[in-house]
Amino acid sequence: MSFEHRDDTGDRFGMWLFLYTEVILFSGLFILYAIALTTYPQEYITASNKLNIWFGAANTVVLLTSSLTIALAITAIQRNQIRLCISLCVATIGLAFVFLINKYFEWSHEISLGIYPASETLRDMGPGVTSFFNLYYFTAGLHGLHVLIGATLITVVAVMVAKGKVTSDRYVLLENSALYWHLVDLVWIFLFPLYYLII
């Protein structure tokens, strides 16, 4: 008699616990931001105005849409629409790369203006603007790393769906990867207004 050890609810709860620790990680950076904002309110406005709202807004739409596609992928696998599920995973991965390419152009532009950690331009602008951009590069960079990890996870799961290892009966791996992806979206939901929209 074989007994399969399986606890999907437990697996999902484990993922949620991990995501709470991720929130605590990012909230440390947001607290630093809040302290610096109360210390240098004027400099933060100056610095924020140097960021391009439209790059940020475009990336917000891209991430929200990718969250939609991965959420739809779960309904697809639950309804045993395997091809649709794979297509939605591929769409999510595609949007992740659109996000990163957008970020590449945005950062290239800023670096060409001399705005990067420890640059002379930033030193001349004083400690307030410098702290804004240091936090901006670190938080957005850590977020970008999460985008890359999330896209990798979804790629692996999409292959497993194609091979029939993740099925409409057993799809907790897809659910957990989707949860991770939504966390990436959640972080950006706060990062975007705080860094791009301060006036």
Contacts with another protein, residue ranges (CB under 8 A): 6-10, 12-13, 16-17, 20, 23-24, 27, 31, 34-36, 38-39, 53, 57, 60-61, 64-65, 67-68, 71-72, 74-75, 78-79, 175, 178-179, 182, 185-186, 189-190, 192-194, 197-199
Nearer to another protein by Cβ, of 45 and 142: the residue is 45
Closest to another protein by CB, 32 vs 90, is 32
Minimum gap (Å) between residue 35 Cβ and another protein: 5
Between 15 and 93, whose beta carbon lies closer to another protein? Answer: 15
User: What whole-number distance in Å separates Cα of residue 176 and Cα of residue 171?
Assistant: 9
Q: Which long-range contacts (CB under 8 A, 24 or more apart) does 167-171 make?
A: 167/77, 168/77, 168/78, 168/79, 168/80, 168/82, 170/6, 170/8, 171/74, 171/77, 171/78
Instruction: Report, in Å, the least distance between residue 143 CB and another protein.
Output: 14
Residue 166 · residue 18 · CB < 8 Å: no
- Give CA–CA dist 21/11, Å, rounded: 16
Residue placing its CB nearer to another protein in the complex, 112 or 186: 186
Which tokens sit at 146? 């999460």
| Minimum distance, C-beta of residue 182 to another protein, in the bound complex (Å) | 5
Complex with another protein: residue 22 or 142, whichever CB lies closer: 22
Q: How far is CA 166 from the centre of its chain?
A: 24
Provide, rounded to whole angstroms, the least separation between the CB of residue 62 and another protein. 11
Name 32's Cβ contacts closer than 8 Å, sequence gap at least 6. 135
Closest separation in Å from C-beta 27 to another protein: 6
Nearest distance from C-beta of residue 124 to another protein, angstroms: 20
Nearer to another protein, 69 or 110 (CB): 69
Burial tier of 154 (Cβ tally within 10 Å: 0-12, 13-18, 19+)? buried
